[in-house]
Structure 1
Amino acid sequence: MEFFDNPVVPGFSPDPSVCRVGRDYYLATSSFEYAPGVPLWHSRDLMNWRRIGHALDRPSQLSFPDTLLSSEGVYAPTLRHHDGRFWLITTVVGGAGNILVTADSPEGPWSDPLPLALPGIDPDLAWDEDGVCWCLFSAASGIRAARIDPATGAVLGESVPVWSGSGLQYPEGPHLYRVGEWWYLLLSEGGTERGHALSVARARSPLGPYEPCPANPVLSHRSTDRPVQNTGHGDLIQAHDGSWWMVLLGTRPRGYTPQYHGLGRETFLTPVTWEDGWPLPRPVEERPPAGSLTPSPFPPEPARDDFDSVRLAPCWVSVRQHPATGARLDERPGHLVLHARGESLDRPGTVFVGRRQESPDCSARTLVDAGTGRAGLAVRLDEAHHYEVEYDAGTVRVRARIGPLATTVAERSLGPGNGHPGRITLRLDIRTTDVLPPMVTTVGQDFSGDALGARAGGPDTVVLGHETADGRFEALASLDGRYLTTEVAGGFTGRVIGMYVTRGSAAFDWFELTGS
Structure 2
Amino acid sequence: MKYNNPVIKGFHPDPSVCKVGEDFYLVTSSFEYFPGIPIFHSRDLVNWEQIGHVLTRESQLPLKRVHSYTTSQGIYAPTIRHHDGRFYVIAMNVSNHKTFYVWSDQPNGPWSEPIIVEGLAGFDPSLFFDKDGKVYLTAGAFPGFGPEGIIQAELDIESGQLITESKFIWKGTGGSSPEGPHLYKINDWYYLLVAEGGTEYGHMVTVARSKNPYGPFESNPHNPILSNRSTKLPIQATGHADIVQACDGSWWSVFLGFRPVKSTKVHHLGRETNLAPVEWSEDNWPIIGNNGRAEIQHNGKSLPLGEPIPWQGKEEFDDESLTSVWNFYRNPQKGSWSLTIKQGSLTLYGQSSTLNDYESPAFVGRRQQHFNCEISTLMEFSPKEEGEEAGLTVFMNENHHYEVAKTMKQGKSIILFRRCVGSLWKVENETEYDESIVVFTIKATETDFTFSYTKTNGELEVIGSGETSLLSTQVAGGFTGLYFGLYATGNGKVSTSPAHFEYFHYLPGDE
TM-score (norm 2): 0.92
Given candidates 116, 138, 141, the residue that maps to 2:140 is 138
Question: Cα distance, 1:119 vs. partner?
Answer: 2.1
**Which residue in the other structure is 1:424 paired with?**
438
Is the 1:133–1:148 Cα contact (8 Å) retained in structure 2? yes
- Please list the CA deviations of residues 417-459 of structure 1 after superposition, one character each: whole Å capped at 9, or x if unmatched: xxxx121111111112xxxxxxxxxxxxxxxxxxxxxxxxxxx
Q: Measure the CA separation in 2 of the matches of 1:325 and 1:229.
A: 42
- Aligned AA for 1:206? P
1:180 aligns with 2:173: no
Distance in 1, Cα, partners of 2:400 & 2:73: 16
Deviation of the 1:301 alpha carbon: 3.6
- Pairwise CA distance, 1:205: 1.2
**Deviation of the 1:74 alpha carbon:** 0.3
1:48-127 → structure 2 map (5 Å cutoff): 48-66=47-65, 69=68, 70-117=71-118, 118-127=120-129
**Structure 1: distance between partners of 2:371 and 2:335:** 30
Partner in structure 1 of residue 352 of structure 2? 342
Q: 1:507 aligns to what?
A: 500
- State the AA in 2 paired with 1:400: R
Determine the C-alpha separation between the residues in 2 that align with 1:125 and 1:470: 58
Instruction: Note if contact 1:169-1:189 (Cα within 8 Å) is conserved in structure 2.
Output: yes
Greater shift, 477-486 or 245-254, is seen at 477-486
For 1:342 and 1:246, locate their aligned partners in 2 and report how far apart those are by CA, in whole Å.
Answer: 45
Rounded Cα–Cα distance in structure 2 between residues aligned with 1:174 and 1:281: 16
Give the 5 Å matches for 1:24-423: 24-66=23-65, 69=68, 70-117=71-118, 118-139=120-141, 140=143, 141-257=148-264, 259-275=265-281, 276-282=283-289, 283-297=293-307, 299-322=309-332, 326-349=336-359, 350-372=361-383, 373-393=388-408, 394-414=413-433, 421-423=435-437
> Structure 1 residue 469: deviation in Å?
3.1
User: 2:474 aligns to what SS in structure 1?
Assistant: helix
Task: Show CA shifts across 1:167-219 (max 9, x none).
Answer: 11100000011100000000000000000010000001110110111110111
1:462 to 434, 449, 452: 449
Assess if the C-alpha contact under 8 Å between 1:89 and 1:124 holds in 2.
yes
CA distance in 1, matches of 2:250, 2:164: 37
Asked if structure 2 preserves the Cα contact closer than 8 Å seen for 1:376 and 1:390, the reply is yes
Question: CA contact under 8 A between 1:228 and 1:251: conserved in structure 2?
Answer: yes
1:237 and 1:89 mapped to 2: Cα distance?
Answer: 18
Is 2:20 the counterpart of 1:21? Answer: yes
The amino acid that maps onto 1:226 is L
Q: Is the 8 A contact 2:335 2:349 kept in 1?
A: no
Displacement of 1:348 in angstroms is: 2.4
Identity of aligned residues (%): 42
1: CA distance, partners of 2:189 / 2:452: 59
Per-residue deviation, 1:342: 2.9
Q: Structure 1: 5+ residue runs without aligned partners? A: 416-420, 433-459
In the TM superposition, residue 120 of structure 1 has moved relative to its aligned partner by 1.7
Aligned equivalents of 1:312, 1:57: Cα separation in 2: 12
Displacement after TM superposition at 1:7 (Å): 0.5
CA 1:323/1:461 → structure 2, altered by over 3 Å: closer, same or farther?
farther
What SS does structure 2 have at the residue aligned with 1:99? strand
Q: Answer yes or no: is the 8 Å Cα contact 2:78–2:90 preserved in 1.
A: yes
* Aligned residues of 1:317 and 1:323 also touching (Cα < 8 A): no
The alignment's C-alpha RMSD in Å is 1.4
Does the 8 Å contact 2:314/2:503 carry over to 1? yes
Residue deviations 1:464-488, cap 9 Å, x none? 1212335454211121110111111
- The whole-number CA distance in structure 2 between the counterparts of 1:209 and 1:323 is 50
Superposed counterparts of 1:429-444, under 5 Å = 429-432=443-446
User: Which residue is equivalent to 1:456?
Assistant: none
Query: Which amino acid in the other structure matches residue 405 of structure 1?
Result: L
Structure 1 residues 426 and 77: alpha-carbon distance in aligned structure 2, compared to 1, 3 A threshold:
same
Q: Which amino acid aligns with 2:422?
A: G
Give the whole-Å Cα distance in 1 for the aligned partners of 2:51 and 2:352: 31
| Farther off after superposition, 348-357 or 378-387 | 348-357
The SS at the match of 1:165 is: coil
The structure-2 alpha-carbon separation of the partners of 1:487 and 1:37, relative to structure 1 and needing over 3 Å to count, comes to same
| Matched positions, count | 482
Instruction: Give a deviation string over 1:205-260, Cα, whole Å, max 9, x none.
Output: 11011011111011111111111000000000111111111000000001444x21
What's the CA shift for 1:322? 4.2
1:323 touches 1:353 (CA, 8 Å); kept in 2?
Answer: no
TM-aligned CA distance change 1:324 to 1:78, over 3 Å: farther
Matched-pair contact (CA < 8 Å) for 2:64–2:95: no
Rounded Cα–Cα distance in structure 2 between residues aligned with 1:357 and 1:71: 17
